[in-house]
Structure 1
Amino acid sequence: MSDSRARYHIKQLTKKYKLLRMSEVGLQALALACIAFSIPYAFNVPWGISLTFSIAGGSLLFLYRCEQLNLFHLQELDITAYLNQHFDTLQNSSDLLLRDPSELSTLQQLQKLRTTVAFEALYPGIKLPHHLLRAGGIFIASVALTFTLTSFAPFLTRSTAGNTSKDSLTYTSKFIAAPAQVKQAIITIAPPPYTGLKSQATQAWSLTLPEGSTVEWQVQFSAEVKDPTLVFSGKEVVRMKSGQQNTYILRRSIDETGFYQLAWTTPAGNVKHSDFFKLEIVKDQAPVITINKLNQFTELEYTNKPVIDVYATLSDDYGLDNAHIIATVSKGSGESVKFREDKLFFGKPASITGKHLEAIRKLDLIKLGMEPGDELYFYVVAFDNKLPQPNHTRTETYFISLQDTTQQETVVDDGLGVDLMPDYFRSQRQIIIDTEKLLQEKKKTSKTAFQSKSNELGYDQKVLRLRYGEFLGEEFESGIGPQENPAEEDHDHEEDITKKYGHVHDKENEHNLVQEKQPEHHHHAEAKEGEDKNGVPAGFVHEHDSEEEATLFTQSIRAKLKAALAIMWDAELHLRLYEPEKSLPFQYKALKLLKEISQDSRIYVHRTGFDPPPLKEEKRMAGDLSEVKSATALSSSNHKENNEAIRYALQVTALALAKDSISIDNTLKRSLTQAGQALGKLAIDQPGVYLKSLSLIRALTENELKPEEQRSALKTVQTSLWKALPEAPEAPATATRALHTLDRSFIKNLEAHE
């Protein structure tokens, strides 16, 4: 798809969206116009005035909706913004399709090509948002309503329009119990001052309010009543104070989610209850902290500018009160490590207030007293403005360390015979990697440098071989490979200057890689042939001083390790001969053997059988079973039924529903009342699940439901009672087996002779 084609498709999408939305708004405006015409006309208002109302209402709605949907100012960029938001494959780059290629950078042009391909694949399936079908349904319903009202217009008189009195507009609370007894109720919710929310008055009894809010109920009855109370969660009864004109007031602070109901006593002495209403508390959330542009682990060089910028995004539902950084500087190492903790405040802004803000703090590591090798641990703590005890949140700990620039050096002193070179050697895998790298750079490297690096790798192979030789007792080259006779060596009588003043690298046990063994002189008598020095046969002796026996591994692992050391000899040989390509196969073989050794040397702990405690002989054959516990008795005692009231109510309800006609007798009322108390405890945590059933139980026990409504109410209560029962634990089933034919015949004959 070309750029012009993509731009054309976006224009078509813009026109299509305008057309769909205009049609939707037009149908809504026509629906309002029909209703605005039919209602005045049905009450004998002249058709001219009705038509004026109709045109004015439809036009205002059309203009309002068009402005609300931004149809008059809709541009192609709005369509691209919609595409970016709903199609991830465009990668937020669909606006590049509208721009001239000459205005784009190279990277933007590449992104535009990718976006064009993605847009071409998405275009046939793009569906723009609209509610045209819903608007059409509203228009059809308004036309039907208009036809109905205008058809019965002659039967309506103007007097019916003025028949509504002022008293009929007064709010009457709708109770299932007795709607005529409560004339008016106004509930005022006053959130805590720190939230900054305004007080609000409502006539809805089910309340959702912030934590710690103060609620005031003003209930006006149509007649005089006695002792009106509010019952909270079925357990706390609070009496309301008397006011003027049968009005009663109660003010209370709400901190827990639950439910409540209104109860009062009529002058005749009957106790009435309202429905159950929900009290839902919105908890004050703790602050949310996000650290931006900083990794959790950061390592800096001391030569760099040791300054870290901490960007923190702080937010809270009602407001922040304070935030700071707790920083801990760690100095030293080992047992001499020291810690210092500081509290650091943000530089911008100066004060932490508001619901959402960006805070910045520059951490100057030098001013904090950090030196090379020191570490800094810090986290951010934020507090909100909740009273009396604020909520607080802390982030994860972030780590910043300064690299230690000190280097170990070899100190050569005539009076100190210790070599202080660091104990370092390469692994076999590292030697393989360096060898392969050397072969790749062979063409770019001079012959002298190539041979030098190959020789250095041979030296590293030798060091590794000596290290693994320690496990076999072969700390020196004398224990591996062919032995040389020092007497046969050709000695040069001239003085070797390098041995006197230099540091020879390629010699046995250079750099003190392994600890030198001091020779031990033992004087034993000569043993017979085939025996050791103590006269014991050689086959029954484990010689610890022998290099062949001095090993930390079993014989199978020892054999593999010896094979690996032999292969390392060959690998070192070819490296010394400047033939690294021939050394690689031996290196891989050595690495494979080392891996097998590491697997074989793992220790697995096997399970052991049960070792019972020893029996006490004095208690045997005594017949004392006081300490013997029955597993069956323990299981049955732990599984105690605590829902007898609910189970009994289920039985009584099932019997009542099994009859053809529902009869609410005293037994059913008593069982439902007891079950309602059990449901009330559950409704404290889940008021939305059981409040309806509690209301139906109250209506059934007070005979407030019609006979045709009682069966459906009992079924609803029965369902809630089943939900309230906990799931029974799984019990092992009784083992059953089919009887043999002979067994059945035997039982049959036995029963016949009885």
Structure 2
Amino acid sequence: MSAERFFSHWVAPARRRSFLDTLGLALPVLAALTAIAWRISGLAAAAALFLAGGVLALVLARRRATRQDRAWLIHRLDASRPELEDSSALLFSPPATITPLQALQRTRIADRLDQASPHDLVPRWSKQWLLGLFCVAAVIVAGALLWPRPGEGPPRLAPSQEGIATAPGLPRLVAQNLRILPPAYTGLPKRDSAKLDVQAPLGSRLEWTLRFDPEAQGPRLLLVDGKPLPLRRDGDNWVAGLTLDRSFLYRVDPAADRGPTPPLHRIDAQPDNPPQVKALTPALTVVKAGQHSWTPAFAATDDYGVASSARLRITLAIGEGENVTFSEREIPVSGTGAAQDRRFAPVLNFSSFGFSAGGDMVVQLIVHDNRTPSPQEVRGPSLILRWPSARVPESGGLEGMVNTTLPAYFRSQRQIIIDAEALLKQKRALSSDRYLAKSGTIGNDQQILRGRYSQFLGGEEEGEPELPTADAEHHFDGDGHDHGPPVRHSPGFGAPEDVLAEFGHAHDESPASSLDPETRAILKKAVDEMWGSERELKQGRPDLALPYANRALRFIKEVQQATRIFLSRVGPELPPIDPTRRMTGDREGIGNRTLQLAGIKRSDGPAAAAWRALESDAVPDPTALGNWVRANAGRLPDPLALTAAIDAVRQQPRCAACRARLQGLLWTAMERPTGQPMPRQRPDAMGARYLHALQGGGS
């Protein structure tokens, strides 16, 4: 057997025993520390500590096992086996380095060692340490399990803070505790409050534990504007509970309406706010050369936590000109980070969505919180990814110029107006040549759009409006066409339509042949205004082009609405004018034109009546005022404070401080009056003389 195999054979049992002994010593210590961490910081902290401690225990056990090396084995063999004659080191010496006498001695001790077992060298268990550590760990774990957490176990009652004088024979509150158990989705721990005025999340479970002296008979909690909540006996204490669904006021009544009135206590329900979504990517992004994907980033925050999964709504805009089609889809996305502040950054590959040049991709994140039931859903801001289309040559009008087309949304009339206004703002920062070039580019877009709308007029409006001459392209008798009988109209001087109607006719084969005459006329006005806008833009005068462009947009919208809305085109029916009464001053039969001011219906009647009653030292109606507070609780700044002031006046109608507080709260709670018409100012001396002269009084 070689020296290495001999060494491994003899140290393996000892190393195994050392490794297990170390783990046995570490296990109770680790269990005690984990139980303490679980009690103090919760399950997550306990699991993290257990994993970290387990890894550390394995490292220490391995290091302790490696102490059984060759020197340890030689020492243990010489100490435990006298027959080896302190020559164990010869077993590990290379044969070439020993003398013949040492080789003979090596053979003798090897034969003697074969009669022994490696288990004879195994160290003993640390029984005393193991027993002591396990006992201490058991005590610690039991204490951690049995020790009550905040909000668990029987509550510790605090002295009462009611401040009511002691009355013989009447029970009074001497100790109190209010336990708040928030909803599980909030992740908040249970807690005890020594005070009876608390703020708690909406949906929490409230548990009162009260003690009275002397013993009470049928105590209860009196809810203002609500039903009384009875208390039940639990040993020496009285307990009650309810689920918090709204804010309310209450008082503890130990003596069933006997004795002094207990003070009011207030419970404020804190609603769960909806999540907030913020965009971390700019609102508008342009695709760069070679870009194949987009990663929009959002941040979602919530007071109790945002769900780890959300939905991303993706809208693709495809099309040109005024006709744009949309496609919409939603995909699931996952967030990263803490629950209260998550980040969503999905990677969107263009090929997966069919996104290409000339389109817009609009994304919107839809998140929801962890509220149960009915989680709140919120839609974040929209982010736009714009991919400009490739430059395609397009013919532009009679000039034969080649213009580069822009994406469809740049060639709409509204976008032309926006571009012209933006160019005016940049005028100071641009050179004259650059300014003229940009204005000409917008003019080319206007020319392209004008050509598209001219198609609905048979192309007759493509180009500058024609002058009223006979140079237009008309058809006459003998030109080879079947004209039919001539149509005669009363020509209007200078009107090209009338010249055409008198001497010839036009071959209208356009889609506009089905348009009604009024719509066609409006469309022609829009095209004419576009030509004016184009003319000014190409001359570098966008300020003068804007009026034409705005009128063109107005006519376009009128044409679009004309295909959907049909209104009766009837003028106002005005009474006939009698010219004989003009300049005579005869006012017979003329009605009074003074407008009667109608009063505004207000909902503050009970509040105003109560305020006037307080002002006049009268007693307001608390029932009507309480109903008004409940009906308008949504707009009042603090309805509970107003309810408490009403209750104080109900209990003590002649309390000056209570009345003043209620009056002040009513003044701030009532709606502000709207602006009233100002009376006409009285004329001064000169104005009075002028009016007197008009009435025929002379100067």
Q: Structure 1 length normalisation: TM-score?
A: 0.43
Q: Taking CA–CA contacts closer than 8 Å with sequence separation of 6 or more, which of the two structures ends up with the larger relative contact order?
A: 1
